[in-house]
Amino acid sequence: MMLKMITVSVLLLGFAQTVLSQELQNEPYHKHRLTIMMANSHIPAADNVDSQDAVFIVPTWGFDYDYWLSPKWAVGLHNDLVLQQYKIEKKGNEGIIERSFPVSVSGVGIFRPWKNWAFVAGVGREFEKNESFNLYTLGVEYGIELPRDWELSFNLIYENKLETYDSWLFGIGFSKILGPKNEE
């Protein structure tokens, strides 16, 4: 299933890049973006498990790299580190699982249809010492350009750990745009 999702994502990105390349050919853009994100993750499957809070929110750090193919399309590697131990109830009441500082790594595609808005979709894996899970991620980002090739962004990201649990991430990202503008 994971291979099918990756294949479909790559094909869609390739098709979209081909269709849009004529339209965007003369727009200059930077090719590289590094982001660090401070965030909080809401994990609904952890609500009310073994005296955890009724609404369980944990601190999270995000570390992302994006490579821009055009002004509207990018591919990236997005990584999240949850800074806490917690327990979750598996979907379908299949028992309680302990999670200890899980790390999510996702390959993503990014589409920026308007100047400040970007939509993110991808697949990856959440790694943790007890049990690791495949995942897919969907997100939206609103970015504000700052002087000297910096960017401030507000992020809302949904991660679904397949057949297990899901989480919502709300964050603020600080990005550094690198390299000269591509003058195609």
Q: How far is CA 6 from the centre of its chain?
A: 15
Segment 80-115, tens digit of pLDDT: 999 998 888 777 667 788 889 999 999 999 999 998
Q: Tell me what pLDDT residue 21 has.
A: 47
Tell me the three state secondary structure of residue 106. Answer: strand
178 has pLDDT over 70: yes
Q: Tell me what pLDDT residue 28 has.
A: 64
Alpha carbon distances (Å) from 66 to 43, 57, 75, 129, 139: 26, 27, 6, 28, 14
Q: Tell me what pLDDT residue 14 has.
A: 57
- Phi, psi angle pair for 176, to nearest 5°: -115, 125
The pair of three-digit structure tokens given for residue 38, joined into one six-digit string: 């401070």
Q: What percent of the chain stands above pLDDT 90?
A: 57
Can you give the pTM of this predicted structure? 0.80
- Phi, psi angle pair for 15, to nearest 5°: -65, -50
**Which has the higher per-residue pLDDT, 8 or 99?**
99
Segment 28-82, tens digit of pLDDT: 677 899 999 999 999 888 776 666 667 789 999 999 999 999 999 999 999 999 9
Average pLDDT over residues 134-150: 95
134 has pLDDT over 60: yes
8 has pLDDT over 80: no
Q: Tell me what pLDDT residue 29 has.
A: 75
